[in-house]
Structure 1
Amino acid sequence: MQFILVTFGSAGDLFPFLWMGRCLRARGHRVDLLGPEQHAPFVESAGLTFHGLPADPAVLDHPDLWHPTRGLAVVWQATRPAMAHLPQLVEALAGDKQCVLLVHPLALPEADLCRLASPGMKIATTYLAPANLPTVHDPLLLGPWKVPRWLPHGGRRWLWRSLAARFIDPVALPSLNAARRQHGLAPVRRLIEYVPAVADLSLALFPDWFAAPPLDWPQPLFQAGFPLYDPDPDAAPSCELRTFLAAGMAPVVFTPGTGNRQARAYFEAAAHAVGALGLRAVFLTPYRDQLPPILPPGVCWQEYVPLKALLPHVAALVHHGGIGTTAEAMRAGRPQLVVPLAHDQFDNAARVESLGVGASLHARRVTPARMVEALQRVVGIEAMQARCAAVAIRFNGAGSADPLCDRLEALASG
């Protein structure tokens, strides 16, 4: 069988597709992966055939990229130039052969156009986090705002449509409908209702104990576990980091995400907080210029360390709330302080708190004093550590992509 995988964004968006792609390849299928050209080393090391898509790194400096309501529009605009190539690329790869197009949800409009050249093509989409699937059921957050339980479903639908009409549709629909007109297709009125209806199969890449599927998620839907993929599973911490870890008490790790170049205030607050509390810390970021010029004693900077290798040696993880980072902290049984900025991060933070494995602090409210207070809620709290250990047990035996691949093969042959 042939599978064409399409994604964009950061490594956190790429790794789940590598997880699926490697499993499909191991089962004898042809797998082509289309993604941002800068991810070529990751894809090639995974043994998959790679087709690079143009990507502008300048988007990482856009002032609204991490805005709670305007961030999605920035991502949409940044990805459209690459997605415009999708129908032509997929037609060349698929030809008249039957195949499955497995795509990131924001690639679904272009995936829909791919059907015109390949009517027998099946489309599957992967939702990496619960917040990527709109619902009117509890627990419901719209960005950072919690929707009260007493609000009826009709009111919740109105809220969804209002937010989309203000922040998403004006950005997305003009170019989308222009492309559809060129192919003689009817215009889309609401993106939030159109996108979930495109796929023949929706995949939720998180377990039901983290988010049980409500009645209004798209069907058919297959729910798998977290796609915990490590590009170098046998990697060990650097000599510098091993020396640091052995020199004192377990540190707190701070990471705002590998794609965040706007975290200077975050690291300044972190440096103050660990100093005030007498803690040690590891600062993870590929961008050294975000850190204080001179790091305090007891703080170690690393460009990148696989979390699987690092987290067993730390006291807690402070992070942005990306779903992959959230899952890695739970697998390691470590308390986490989630500092969400945008996208799915607020919902992930709320689920961490609900499970009792961490706390949260809105990124726009971060100050040195608030960082101190938030760390005191997660570091060294025995009850939270016990809860983290209990949740970590749920990962035992998890991680196989085989059940998901079974479902994709059934879609391909159906």
Structure 2
Amino acid sequence: MLSALSGSIEPRPCAQGGEMDRDGRPQAGEDSTLWVLACSGTGGDILPFIDLGKRLAERGRRVRLAAPAYHADWIRRQGLDCEAFGSKAAFQACLDDPDLWDERKGFGVVWRSVAPHLQVLRELAARESGRCVLLCHPLMLAAAHLAKAAYPDLTVAALYLSPSGLCSSHDMQVLGSLTLPARLPVSWKRQLWRCLYRLGLDPQVLPAINAARREMGLPPLRSFQRLLSETPEQVFGGFPSWFAAPQPDWPSPYQELGFPQAAERDGTLSAELQAFIDAGPAPVVFTPGTGHRHARGYFEAALAALAAVGGRGIFITPYRDQVPEALPGHVLWQPHAPFSAILPKAAAVVHHGGIGTCAEAFRAGVPQLICPYAFDQFDNGWRARRLGVAEVLPARKLSAKKLAAALRRLSASGEVARACERTAAQARASGFASVELLEQALMDAVWARR
């Protein structure tokens, strides 16, 4: 978009040695600014940043991902530079902690894996003399806050992959597994959010943030919520408005991007997987998420449910030890599979409610049974159910009997099938906004500060 804006106007020399567009901004391929895509989390959190990094690099931007060392080799195999922080062993220890998937304890586990590395973006900016644009996963906004405190001219943007992190008091039906009364006043919901931050999040996150601020000679912060809202100049939503419409209390300026197209490891099915699919009726795909290390009970219930309904199944997890050792012929285990290729061939998908899996299921037009554990999964499940394409069965209530009953209802429902068709058409039509739109919004923010 930036290059298209120049039209027939002659480019002007850039102070950095390149060319300027007609608005006086460096053209893509000429600006030496480093575009840092800062992310953390499991594979589903990293994939969208890889995709954006590739697209920006193709437009001539100098791109680097800042991500846990656990993901660094994967990111580099995608042809992207990576600023790795932490260690693979420490990240694996986080995944191995059973509290990670506890609704109330999970955030604390995640935060303890991030907190030792709060200075990573500040250190990176120091090496670049502050000539950076930071596009951050919400987990990395505390690190961006410290970098911005040291380099006030830094431009910071946030990319929210799911709407629950925006903490609206208007479009809020669930708070974790707690279902709220439909007529609960907005003022009451607002107070719930305040209590969650004051009593839950602030005591966990502020000590580490304030210790880092103290080392920098800065006064302490009293609100994590203010840090999240005031650090970024621009907020992007990695989901479409038909999934979550913008709300009056969302940060501004806000820009909708839509669901990213995941930069998958491989978009084709393995020969073993293709042969299994071709050998019988459409299978049910089961996945508790690529980072879930404690899902043995989930897969045991899935195996029993398939026996009860007489169906075929594909179990997807990189951890073979949590899948029953002896699988019958109608069930196949796979460590990985490209959802864009496998879900269109599935009868249904049973998953944890990760936003990336939801998006691929929407595109495939496949019924979903969402079994949320923690984080944004409950809200994503509620929104999918509101679209008519899913049922929600909280993981803590999961049993073979309930799982089988839900699969029977989903497969027999004409209403669900029609809703899946409508949603698939929406998902395919809306797509992901062009990377030029994101680039333009960020460059506007950069030049507004100069």
In structure 1, which of residues 289, 300, 304 is the aligned counterpart of residue 321 of structure 2? 289
- Asked whether 1:64 is paired with 2:99, we answer yes
Give me the whole-angstrom Cα distance separating, in 1, the residues matched to 2:277 and 2:182.
45
Paired residue for 2:277? 245
CA-CA distance at 1:42 after TM superposition: 2.9
Please say if residues 301 and 400 of structure 2, whose CA atoms lie closer than 8 Å, have aligned partners that are also in contact.
yes
TM-score (norm 1): 0.95
Paired residue for 2:392? 360
Q: Larger radius of gyration, structure 1 or 2?
A: 2
What is the letter of the counterpart of residue 199 of structure 1?
P
- Asked whether 1:204 is paired with 2:237, we answer yes
- Asked whether 1:218 is paired with 2:270, we answer no
- Asked whether 1:149 is paired with 2:149, we answer no
CA-CA distance at 1:368 after TM superposition: 1.1
The within-5 A match list for 1:97-136 is: 97=131, 99-136=132-169
Please say if residues 20 and 405 of structure 1, whose CA atoms lie closer than 8 Å, have aligned partners that are also in contact.
no
Paired residue for 2:301? 269
SS of the counterpart of 1:187?
A: coil
Paired residue for 1:195? 228
In structure 1, which of residues 320, 331, 335 is the aligned counterpart of residue 352 of structure 2? 320
> Which is further off, 362-371 or 167-176?
167-176
CA-CA distance at 1:232 after TM superposition: 4.0
Please say if residues 118 and 209 of structure 2, whose CA atoms lie closer than 8 Å, have aligned partners that are also in contact.
no
What is the letter of the counterpart of residue 192 of structure 2?
L
CA-CA distance at 1:292 after TM superposition: 1.1
Does the C-alpha gap of structure 1 residues 165 and 116 become closer, same or farther in structure 2, counting only changes over 3 Å?
closer
Count of residues in correspondence between the two structures? 411
Give me the whole-angstrom Cα distance separating, in 1, the residues matched to 2:306 and 2:439.
44
Residues 304-340 of structure 1, C-alpha deviation per residue, up to 9 Å, x if partnerless? Answer: 0110111111111100000000000000111111000
Paired residue for 1:412? 446
Give me the whole-angstrom Cα distance separating, in 1, the residues matched to 2:208 and 2:284.
45
Give me the whole-angstrom Cα distance separating, in 2, the residues matched to 1:83 and 1:119.
17
SS of the counterpart of 1:396?
A: helix
Does the C-alpha gap of structure 1 residues 115 and 138 become closer, same or farther in structure 2, counting only changes over 3 Å?
closer
Does the C-alpha gap of structure 1 residues 66 and 232 become closer, same or farther in structure 2, counting only changes over 3 Å?
closer
Residues 164-183 of structure 1, C-alpha deviation per residue, up to 9 Å, x if partnerless? Answer: 23322221111111111222
Residues 39-95 of structure 1, C-alpha deviation per residue, up to 9 Å, x if partnerless? Answer: 223322332211211141111121221111221121111111233333112321x21
SS of the counterpart of 2:79?
A: coil
Runs of 5+ consecutive residues of structure 1 not aligned to the other structure = none
Residues 244-267 of structure 1, C-alpha deviation per residue, up to 9 Å, x if partnerless? Answer: 111110000000000001101100
Please say if residues 130 and 154 of structure 2, whose CA atoms lie closer than 8 Å, have aligned partners that are also in contact.
no
Paired residue for 2:200? 167
SS of the counterpart of 2:95?
A: helix
- Asked whether 1:298 is paired with 2:356, we answer no
CA-CA distance at 1:96 after TM superposition: 4.5
SS of the counterpart of 2:101?
A: coil
SS of the counterpart of 1:20?
A: helix
Give me the whole-angstrom Cα distance separating, in 2, the residues matched to 1:356 and 1:402.
33
Give me the whole-angstrom Cα distance separating, in 2, the residues matched to 1:211 and 1:137.
11
Give me the whole-angstrom Cα distance separating, in 1, the residues matched to 2:121 and 2:79.
22
Runs of 5+ consecutive residues of structure 2 not aligned to the other structure = 1-30
Does the C-alpha gap of structure 1 residues 263 and 163 become closer, same or farther in structure 2, counting only changes over 3 Å?
same
TM-score (norm 2): 0.88
What is the letter of the counterpart of residue 317 of structure 1?
V
Give me the whole-angstrom Cα distance separating, in 1, the residues matched to 2:126 and 2:180.
43
User: Which ranges of 4 or more aligned residues in structure 1 deviate by more than 3 Å?
Assistant: none
What is the letter of the counterpart of residue 63 of structure 1?
P
State the percentage of identical aligned residues. 42
Q: Over aligned residue pairs, what C-alpha RMSD do you find?
A: 1.6
Paired residue for 2:260? 227
Paired residue for 2:435? 401
SS of the counterpart of 2:152?
A: coil
